[in-house]
Amino acid sequence: MRWLVLISCALLTTGCGLRRSDPPVPRSATAQRLVELGLADGRAYELLRELVTAAPHRLSGSAGAARAVEWGKAAMERAGLSNVRLQEVMVPCWERGEVTELMLVEPAPGGPLAVTALGGSVATKDTGLEAALVVVRHESELDKLGPAVAGKIVLFNRPMPRALRNTFAAYGNAVPQRVEGAALAARHGAAGVLVRSMTTLIDDVPHTGGMRYDPAFPAIPAAAVSTQAAERLAALAAKGEVRLRLRLSCRTRPDVLSANVIGEIEGREQPGEIVLIGGHLDCWDVGQGAHDDGAGIIHCLEAARLLVRGGLRPRRTIRVVFFMNEENGLRGAEAYARQHGGEPHAAAIESDHGGFEPKGFTSNAKGGAFDRYKRIVSALAPFEMGALVAGGGGADIQPLGMRGVPLFSLLPAWHRYFDYHHSENDTIDAVNERELQMGAVALAYLAWALAEE
Amino acid sequence: MRWLVLISCALLTTGCGLRRSDPPVPRSATAQRLVELGLADGRAYELLRELVTAAPHRLSGSAGAARAVEWGKAAMERAGLSNVRLQEVMVPCWERGEVTELMLVEPAPGGPLAVTALGGSVATKDTGLEAALVVVRHESELDKLGPAVAGKIVLFNRPMPRALRNTFAAYGNAVPQRVEGAALAARHGAAGVLVRSMTTLIDDVPHTGGMRYDPAFPAIPAAAVSTQAAERLAALAAKGEVRLRLRLSCRTRPDVLSANVIGEIEGREQPGEIVLIGGHLDCWDVGQGAHDDGAGIIHCLEAARLLVRGGLRPRRTIRVVFFMNEENGLRGAEAYARQHGGEPHAAAIESDHGGFEPKGFTSNAKGGAFDRYKRIVSALAPFEMGALVAGGGGADIQPLGMRGVPLFSLLPAWHRYFDYHHSENDTIDAVNERELQMGAVALAYLAWALAEE
């Protein structure tokens, strides 16, 4: 009732002179309405608890991922979406296996050191890989070391630069070690690879993540060590020879049938035009993927639920997509673009940067379009989430961007993300109820505004 | 070295035409310098760990508070401050005692329920206070209930309004129950008081806090129950008679000699003019007071350390004050104002809203002064902490405000504060290293800018 009053007042104030293409007051009133509705009757945290209870581990191809798909479909139906369906897709199936162990052999037997296999790694032999350690800070050092690397375990130990205020930029600086390290080291004959965990914290929690091999060289075992373990190994190696034994029992199974989950708020005037909002349903098999990307899934689900509950059905269709297999394959994103990329998408918005307090959005739009979107997003400024800054979308909507669809990404506060990302720490306890809820509100507003304009 | 270059370039760019009263470029360069220095070489989290290790419990008059004073003096000296000294002050000494227990007697024996004595509460008798429960949502209901309250335990059960985006406003709405509840209930003859914990979470953690009695009526035992316990008791009371047994063994001892800790960066031109930055060294005896107000203490200490380390000695003196006894007396604030209130203070800045990501500052300034301060703070806008909004300072600098000193308060993100505030949850694990550091950087900048202008 309160909301009807609010909106009516707004309309009365501005009279009937509103241009259809530039209705600033209804936007502000809708933003206000969604903020208050979201805070008073939000269910984001409860929905996240549902997800991480139903499927704490959701790595593509796993039983957990299958449960997440089931939950996702049912949750969309409960939120009042229409046309809820699964889009089938074959996904890779990598398993960590039972054994993950890193022991010090020299200068003195010791261990275990905090380690986790990188996603996609091959196993060591059962007795493990025992080899001398070589520590590098940068990939380019491998070329100088040349044959000195052969038969060794290479530790890539470049920290995420602490001085970068944007932790995602810091991640961008350091993460090539994790993604390309094994391929680069194998080229020089290395027997295995360790990578310093991608976090700005100095602690004993290893962070996993994706990597890829170079088919022209052998696939060698690859794992991440905690930042403390990395610093300890580097300090030991600075003093003399270090030998390690790494044991991994990872395996890659045949591809498995899985699915994207799709649902819609059908547009009231142009249902064939789509504003997509999405996140990824899969996550790594450590922690609960609460921030990555449980938060993104819940942002989308709760945004849609708030719009349905508030009776806010915009002109265009809002399509919610829970993508499968972002972490190690992007098969869901590719399948979506293949099947639906030809449909008219007015915009695509991804949430894959965690459930922290939202500051606004990034967008790949340029020039006049960017300015127009900036005005639209600015209705969120009174709630301190009205920033629009230049940037990309996320991995799952990138294929749509290649087809010219304007991309957006929710921009949450970034200081804490890499404390949790891809680690056992990424659990629901690390998510704040109100911060998560505000992200859903911001997303609900932008989806509505883009579908309405 | 990098910074010297930066500042030199800035000066070269703008030439020699800078007006002394409006030097925007050096301000921006200094803000940038402090951000990078803080992120690259920050010690805020390490300093907080020192504090909560030396003195996890620091309630006024306790042995922990005495250790905190010692640590504070040594820490200021290590940070390179000058004129480091203690300002002695007598403080109250309330102790929780050994027994804190709330049991259900009717409709069926059960318990214990999550409870914590409010600071300043009297004890029950040894065997406890057994009485029937009356639940109210608002203080005004007591007048209607009248004599029906006599001899009963009153539960004040008004939640912090979730729909308020500003959690401090929500706290302001609900906290009178905690502060005044016992006095109001005693006026109607109640035997004891319970208050719903001040948090937006629904969980089983009780939150303590200050309260006061009305000397004209009996002092009755007062405690906070967790939000879950409050909801459970309210649900039971809606069905029929509820009887409880509350046992508290609190006591108030004679006042104890304690101290404010004071240190300075002496001004290079007008050392007699002061910009004060402060937080409070005391905290409740639950948790570690990591956010309240360990974070504030560390903000001030690290801000000063960064300025000393960066060679940024402004025209006026920056005085750092660790106030004693904010939580249950304000004796430190009063003593400071009494002894130093006559000295010329250009401004006073308090940090007592937690160690979360800073958004900027609040200020009590009006009109042209506010606009001028807004321009000064806006140098932090590129780092997303450049907001200046109308508001007060904090409790410790309020007496200076009464004398006309412009007050500022650091404004961190507010969504998470009341998850931790005054509870066992307020530990260093709840503080993020980078968020805490950014608060210190923001404070360093504003203190410098106000002392330089």
Taking only the tens place, the pLDDT of each residue in B394-432 is: 999 999 999 999 999 999 999 999 999 999 999 999 999
- pLDDT band at residue B392 under the 50/70/90 scheme: confident
The answer to whether B163 faces chain A, any CB pair under 8 Å, is yes
Amino acid identity of residue B19, one-letter, is R
Mutate to test the interface with A, among B199, B415, B429, B431 (most CBs of A within 10 A): B415
Chain A residues with CB under 8 Å of B415 CB are: 357, 432, 434-435, 438
Compute the distance between CA of residue B282 and CA of residue B330 in angstroms, rounded to an integer: 10
- Provide the shortest C-alpha distance from residue B39 to chain A (in Å): 5
Spell out the alpha helix ranges (H) of A149-197.
167-174, 176-187
How distant is the Cα of A220 from the closest Cα of chain B, in angstroms? 35
Mean pLDDT of B347-368: 98
Give pLDDT tens digits for A114-170.
999 999 999 999 999 999 999 999 999 999 999 999 999 999 999 999 989 999 999
pLDDT digits 0-9 by tens, B13-64:
333 333 444 444 489 999 999 999 999 999 999 999 999 999 999 999 999 9
Which of A45, A49, A164, A165 would you mutate first to test chain B, the one with the most B CBs within 10 A? A165
DSSP A437: H
Asked whether residue B330 carries a pLDDT value surpassing 80, the answer given is yes
The token pair that represents B351 in the structure block: 């940090």
Higher pLDDT, B392 or A231: A231
| Residue A25 vs residue A421, higher pLDDT | A421
User: B434–A415: do the CB atoms touch at under 8 Å?
Assistant: yes
- Hey, how many other C-beta atoms are within 10 angstroms of the C-beta on A366? 10
Smallest CA-to-CA distance from A405 within A415, A397, A413 is with A397
Half-sphere exposure of B222 (CA within 13 A, CB side): 29
- CA nearest B445: which of B389, B388, B393? B388
Burial class (CB in 10 A: 0-12, 13-18, 19+), B144: exposed
For residue A346, give Cα distances in angstroms to A20, A401, B141: 17, 11, 54
Asked if residue A3 has pLDDT above 50, the reply is no
Position A379 scores a pLDDT of: 97
Which pLDDT belongs to residue B3? 32
The mean pLDDT of A393-421, rounded to a whole number, is 97
Q: What is the pLDDT of residue A90?
A: 98
B6 touches chain A (CB under 8 A): no
**pLDDT value at position A177?**
97
A357 chain-B contacts, CB cut-off 8 A: 357, 413, 415
Phi, psi dihedrals of residue A45, rounded to the nearest 5°: -65, -40
Q: Higher confidence at residue B2 or residue B220?
A: B220
Among B141, B207, B140, B142, smallest CA distance to B171 is for B207
Q: Which residue of B has its CA nearest to A160?
A: B40
Catalytic residue check, A326: yes
Contact B389/A at CB under 8 A: no
pLDDT band for B1, please (50, 70, 90 cuts): very low
Average pLDDT, chain A: 94
Q: Identify the pLDDT of residue A111.
A: 82
Mean pLDDT computed over every residue of chain B = 94
Looking at the DSSP bridge assignments, the partners of residue B358 are B412
As a whole-number percent, the residues of chain B with pLDDT over 70 amount to 94
Q: Mean pLDDT throughout A387-403?
A: 95
Predicted local distance difference test score (pLDDT) of residue A392: 86
Residue B234's identity, in one-letter code, is A
Q: Per residue, what are the HEC states of B373-418?
A: HHHHHHHHHHHCCCEEEECCCCCCCHHHHHCCCCEEEEEECCCCHH
- Per-residue pLDDT at A402: 96
- Judge contact between A348 and A305, C-beta under 8 A: no
- B419 lies within 8 A of chain A by CB: yes
Residues in contact with B276: Cβ distance below 8 Å, sequence separation at least 6, in sequence order = B318, B319, B320, B321, B345, B347, B348, B349, B397, B400, B405
For residue A223, the cross-strand partners are A117, A194
Of A102-116, A349-363, B4-18, which gets the smallest average pLDDT?
A: B4-18
* Interface contacts (A, B; CB < 8 Å): 50
A419 contacts chain B (CB < 8 A): yes
Produce one character per residue of A15-40: b if its CB has 16 or more CB atoms within 10 Å, e if not: eeeeeeeebeebbbbbbbbbbbbbbe
Please tell me if residue B2 touches chain A, with a CB cutoff of 8 Å: no
d(C-alpha B378, C-alpha A46), whole Å: 38
pLDDT at res. B111: 82
